[in-house]
Structures are given as C-alpha cells and as structure tokens.
C-alpha cells in the first residue's frame, strides 16, 4: 500500500552532473576546395553519458534455478510459527529517497553512492541518530518509527557500449573516496588539541670593569732618598698592575659568562621557533585534511535530474508494488525483544571488495518462493520479480551496533539455534514485489542501484534496519511470535 506522505527529493552539495542521455547521431556537410567531408557527431548535454545496464550474464530464467534452496523457507517450518507484520507502505511516490546510509557511512552525505527507498521513519538520512529518529514521524500505520531502507531498482534501455566507459569513469572518481565507517555509532571525530608553549630565552648582561687610575707620585721632597722613593713607587706600580690584571680577568670571565648566556638564550629561541613551526605545520595538515574530507564529500555527488540519478546509477526508477515487513521466529522456539536502537544489515553492498561471506541470494519470482538466486530472475508470464531479504536474528545480548556493523548480530544455524552467548530475536523479512515488463526482463534491462565497482551485480543487493519501535509495539510483536499468532498492524 502506498503511503500518502510525500516530500521533495533532497539534494546536497556540489554533484557530478547527471549521467544518462540519448545518443543522437547527425551528419554535417563541410565544403572544401578539394571535396566534401562528412562528419558524424554525438549530441548530448555537457557532462552526460548514456545508460549503464547490467551485464547480460547477471540474468537467469527462474525455471533454471533449483527448487528447495530457500533456506529462509526451510527455517519457517521450524520453531514457533507466529508472525507480526507492519504496514509502512511502499514509498510509491518516491517521497523519501536519498543516497545516504547512517549505519554503514554515518555522517557522510551521499556516502552510499546509490539511491535508497525508505519506509517507516520520515527523517532518515546520513546524520540520523536514535534521538533524531525518535523525534521523527513515520509511514507505519501502527506508529513504528523504525528505519527500513533498500536500494532502488531501475529500468535501463540505454546504449551499452557508452555505458561501460561511464562505469569506468565512475569507478575512478569514486575510488578511495567512500568506505564503511568502522565505529559503533555515528560519532563525530574529536578535534585534535595541541598545546603550544612559547617561552622566551633570557640572556644576562655582563659587568664592565673599572678602569685603573694610576697616581704618579712626585718626589718634590729633595730631603728623601731618591732611590727609596723610586723603590716604593715601583712596588706601588707593581701592585697596581696586579690589580689591573685581576680586574681584566674578572672582566674576561664576565664576558665569557654573558656570551654563554646569550648562546643559551639563542638556543632556547631556536627551539621555540622550531616548536612553533611544527605546531603550525600540524595545524596546516589538520586543515588540509578537513578540506580534503569536505571536498571528498562534495565530489561524491548526489541526486541529479528527473530520474534521480546518482553516480553511474541511471535509468527510470520502478517502485515496488508491495513491500511486506514481517517479523518471524526464524526457526527459534521463542524470541526475546530487540533492544531500542538495534542496527542490522542484510547482504553486502560491496561484495566484490569484501568477498562473498555476507552476500545473500535475494532474488526470485512470485510463485517461485521455494527458490532463491543471486542473479536477476527472468519470470514467466503472470509472475513478478521479487526480492526477499531475511535479516540476521541472533543478538549478542549487549550491543546495538559494532565496528563492522555485523558482529553484534548474526544468523542462526539451519536448526534455528544461535551461537553460544547469543539470543534469538525476531527475524525481519522484507519482501518486495516489482512489476517489471516481460521484454525488460528478457532483454536484461533492469538493475539494482549499487556502488560503481559492483557494476550492478545482483549479488550486491542489501537492506538496512534500525529498531525504533516503542516498548509497547515490541511487546506485542514478541507476544504474537511466541504465541504462534499471525498479527498485522
């Protein structure tokens, strides 16, 4: 059921221009003295490129997928059979879409580099927190404020050769710019504080020696013995010379001391200047990093054009005709309540980089739910394309998030049992049904939004959930599952 809420699409920052355009060929004649030259040109808006379809090898006839390989269906037959379905609509009018992911890339606008459909909480974006989500509105009829979001599907009938070039460009531009943020919450980075100590070296002043004053005795007394007077005068002169030498030594010592103090003061000043320069360099580096991060965020790009294109994700968005959000036992005999703020990821949006460990087969057709594939299904007439996302359901009993956003909640085994120390919580199963035209399926012209390096690989399909249910709603949910009832709100 489509919700009535609508809001204009968000746009942020400086973005790369829209990627999709039609290739128009024209010919012009150029008259030259020696003959005529026909020149073929490509017409299009500046900076735009043609569509980027999925590789044909990504498609499979659903009849070729082995039956009975849906592990989710097998688990449903085990344990409690109760369920709790929440009606939150389908975002049919595209009123709440953005290329953010506050769980995997908290605080990074356009960090997902592909477009998400949202139901549930109306405020979900890159900066969402439990506090902001609790204050937000919701599309869910029972007042559930949880955040549910998944990548959109597009129909793409564009030129394939030009699409390859555009995808390579998008990968090069995106390379090294985005990544899952390894932190438990969307905490802002603490600013580095560095103390600067400016001390001034002080040099001492020297003492100046006093000049010797010699007093010449005049022997005017003709009665004294001239020789004795000269001896006394000579002794006085020797004593005066000794005093002068002592004073000169003291003056030299004072000058040496002053010189040493000046040298020490200069060394202190040089050290302070060096420290100040290091601090200045560090501050410049911090500012450069901040500018680089800001520039990186702006380069990531946001929503462009009427088709809400993001990065190399282009084509016409097709909204699900139904979106079923059902909580089940997941093979457990009984479950415990989810904690408020619990964050759960399904699948892996970067499976080509991270490996296949967390990728899950998600695709099937209506009427063929006993089988799942990791390829785009081609459904027979009367059947529709379907995505089934069954989330992890074993909680560690302590944490609502983890650095890898996965370790705190994992999948039960094939008997519905959790690892030691983990508890069974309700398993969320999101089922999305799309009315993709038959010719589009057969021609391989539909695709899921993805990071550029995934090249729209269906194995990169994923889903995100953050629990913001009230205690009352969660209590009813747990009671319905454990009592075996089929409840819907």
For residues 351-357, give the mean pLDDT.
95
Higher pLDDT, 170 or 122: 122
Residue 439, classified by CB atoms within 10 Å of its CB into exposed (0-12), middle (13-18) or buried (19+), is: exposed
pLDDT in tens, 183-222: 665 333 333 333 433 444 444 333 333 333 333 344 344 4
For residues 245-261, give the mean pLDDT.
51
Q: How confident is the model at residue 71 (pLDDT cuts 50, 70, 90)?
A: confident
Lowest mean pLDDT among 3-7, 71-75, 340-344, 481-485: 3-7
pLDDT at 297 > cutoff 60: no
Q: What is the pLDDT of residue 235?
A: 56
Average pLDDT, the chain: 77
Structure token pair of residue 383: 């059947």
Q: Which residues pair with 20 in a beta bridge?
A: 49
Higher pLDDT, 319 or 283: 319
Question: Are residues 343 and 465 in contact, defined by beta-carbon separation less than 8 angstroms?
Answer: yes
pLDDT at 156 > cutoff 60: yes
Kindly state the greatest CA–CA separation across the chain.
154
Q: What is the pLDDT of residue 447?
A: 98
CA dist., res. 468 & res. 343, Å (int): 10
Higher pLDDT, 465 or 250: 465
Hey, which bits of 125-219 come out as E strands?
A: 147-151, 153-155
Higher pLDDT, 281 or 378: 378
Residue 247, classified by CB atoms within 10 Å of its CB into exposed (0-12), middle (13-18) or buried (19+), is: middle
CA dist., res. 424 & res. 344, Å (int): 14
The values of phi and psi at residue 19, to 5°, are: -100, -15
Higher pLDDT, 342 or 69: 342
For residues 344-368, give the mean pLDDT.
97
Distances (CA, A) of 400 to 100, 108, 341, 354, 465: 20, 20, 6, 23, 12
For residues 277-291, give the mean pLDDT.
53
Structure token pair of residue 228: 């004795």
The reply to whether the predicted model has a pTM over 0.85 is: no
Q: What is the pLDDT of residue 12?
A: 38
Of all residues in the chain, the percent with pLDDT exceeding 90 is 57
Lowest mean pLDDT among 31-35, 239-243, 262-266, 287-291: 31-35
Lowest mean pLDDT among 7-11, 157-161, 305-309, 471-475: 7-11
For residues 407-424, give the mean pLDDT.
97
How many other C-beta atoms lie within 10 A of the C-beta of residue 390? 25
Closest Cα to residue 459, out of 350, 335, 381?
A: 350
For residues 157-169, give the mean pLDDT.
62
Q: What is the pLDDT of residue 181?
A: 76
Q: What is the pLDDT of residue 75?
A: 85
């Amino acid at each position: 059921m489509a919700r009535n809420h609508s809001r204009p699409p968000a746009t942020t920052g400086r973005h790369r221009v829209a990627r999709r355009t039609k290739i128009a060929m024209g010919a012009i004649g150029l008259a030259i003295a020696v003959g005529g030259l026909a020149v073929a040109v490509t017409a299009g808006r500046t900076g735009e490129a043609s569509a980027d379809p999925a590789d044909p090898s990504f498609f499979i006839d659903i009849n070729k997928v082995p039956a009975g390989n849906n592990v989710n269906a097998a688990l449903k037959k085990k344990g409690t059979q109760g369920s709790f379905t929440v009606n939150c609509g389908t975002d049919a009018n595209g009123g709440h879409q953005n290329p953010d992911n506050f769980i995997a890339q908290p605080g990074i606008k356009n960090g997902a580099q592909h477009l998400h459909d949202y139901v549930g909480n109306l405020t979900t974006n890159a900066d969402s927190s439990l506090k902001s989500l609790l204050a937000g509105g919701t599309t869910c009829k029972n007042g559930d404020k949880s955040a549910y979001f998944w990548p959109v599907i597009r129909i793409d009938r564009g030129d394939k050769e030009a699409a390859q070039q555009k995808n390579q460009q998008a990968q090069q531009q995106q390379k090294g710019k985005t990544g899952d943020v390894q932190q438990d919450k969307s905490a802002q980075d603490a600013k580095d504080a560095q103390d600067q100590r400016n001390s001034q070296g002080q040099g001492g002043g020297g003492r100046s020696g006093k000049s010797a004053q010699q007093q010449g005795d005049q022997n005017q007394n003709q009665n004294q013995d001239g020789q004795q007077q000269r001896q006394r005068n000579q002794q006085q002169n020797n004593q005066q010379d000794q005093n002068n030498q002592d004073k000169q030594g003291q003056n030299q010592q004072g000058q040496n001391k002053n010189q040493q103090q000046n040298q020490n003061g200069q060394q202190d000043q040089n050290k302070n200047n060096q420290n100040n320069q290091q601090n200045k360099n560090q501050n410049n580096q911090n500012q450069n990093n901040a500018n680089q991060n800001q520039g990186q965020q702006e380069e990531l790009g946001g929503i462009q054009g009427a088709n809400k294109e993001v990065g190399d994700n282009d084509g016409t968005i097709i909204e699900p005709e139904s979106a079923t959000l059902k909580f089940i036992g997941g093979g457990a005999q009984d479950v415990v309540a989810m904690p408020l703020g619990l964050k759960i990821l399904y699948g892996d949006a970067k499976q080509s980089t991270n490996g296949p460990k967390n990728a899950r087969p998600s695709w099937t057709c209506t009427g063929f739910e006993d089988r799942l594939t990791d390829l785009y299904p081609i459904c027979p007439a009367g059947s529709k394309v379907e995505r089934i996302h069954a989330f992890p359901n074993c909680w560690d009993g302590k944490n609502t998030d983890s650095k890898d956003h996965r370790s705190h909640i994992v999948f039960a085994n094939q008997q519905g049992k959790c690892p030691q120390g983990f508890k069974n919580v309700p398993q969320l199963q999101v089922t999305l049904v799309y009315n993709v035209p038959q010719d589009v399926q057969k021609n391989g012209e539909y695709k899921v939004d993805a990071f550029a390096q995934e090249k729209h690989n269906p194995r990169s399909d994923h889903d995100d959930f953050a629990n913001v249910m009230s205690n009352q709603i969660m209590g009813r949910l747990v009671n319905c599952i454990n009592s075996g009832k089929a409840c819907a709100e």
